[in-house]
Amino acid sequence: MRDSLEEQARRYATQAHAAAGQRRKYTDEPYIVHPAAVAELVRSVSNDEQMIAAAWLHDTVEDTPSTLQDIESHFGSRVAQLVDMLTDSAQPDAKNRAARKLAHFRHTAQASPEAQTIKLADIIDNTRAIVQFDPHFARIYLVEKQIQIQLLNEGDKQLWTQAEQIIQHGIGQLAQPPHSVPESWFVKQAAKYGGLS
């Protein structure tokens, strides 16, 4: 008996990220803990096996030598399309981080509701402990995610609400001592994105 599509995706992603030597930035855990968490969040709102497979695979094309053609040949065109919608394409003309991120936000804003749901799960997992691990980077990251989720309004409402609450909680933490980042700082950062939301 063949393994389920999800099990095949889990195995493929585990091998691809391990072969690329990828670890989680702050915890040094094997990278696969992140796609696993994203897949669980997607499973909490959907039993669509192709969506869950794409959740496991969402970073493979961006972060490993895997290509969209590889994904399509192993998992079919719908999974490959979802992964493509979630992949941050190279922006050689982008002058700075804000320009790069804007291009990515526009890309995910055009994604299908299913891909937006996976992206929301990705944001939730990446945002959960960002203030604890890297409060300095969290200041910019949380502003970016606050802007990005405004463009992901076709994704699952439950995950959207969870993402918004985690982002707001993080910004609230940064406003408190020992960080004490003034609210005006966040407003100024958001303005760099040209009021995209």
Q: Cα(10)–Cα(57) distance, rounded to whole angstroms?
A: 8
CA 142/CA 114 separation, integer angstroms = 23
Which residue is listed with tokens 């909680």?
Answer: 169
Residue 142 in 3-state DSSP?
Answer: helix
- Does the annotation count 154 as an active-site position? no
Radius of gyration of the chain, Cα coordinates, nearest whole angstrom:
17
Active-site residue, selected from the candidate residues 63, 72, 88, 164: 63
DSSP secondary structure letter of residue 30 = B
Q: Helices 68-75 and 5-19 meet at what angle, rounded to 10? A: 150
CB 72 within 8 A of CB 87: no
CB of 75 within 8 A of CB of 33? no
Distance of alpha carbon 155 from alpha carbon 170, whole angstroms: 21
In angstroms, rounded to a whole number, what is the distance separating the alpha carbons of residues 197 and 72? 33
Note if 63 is an active site residue: yes
Catalytic residue chosen out of the listed positions 3, 29, 62, 134? 62
Whole-number Å distance between alpha carbons of 162 and 156: 10
Active-site residue set: 62-63
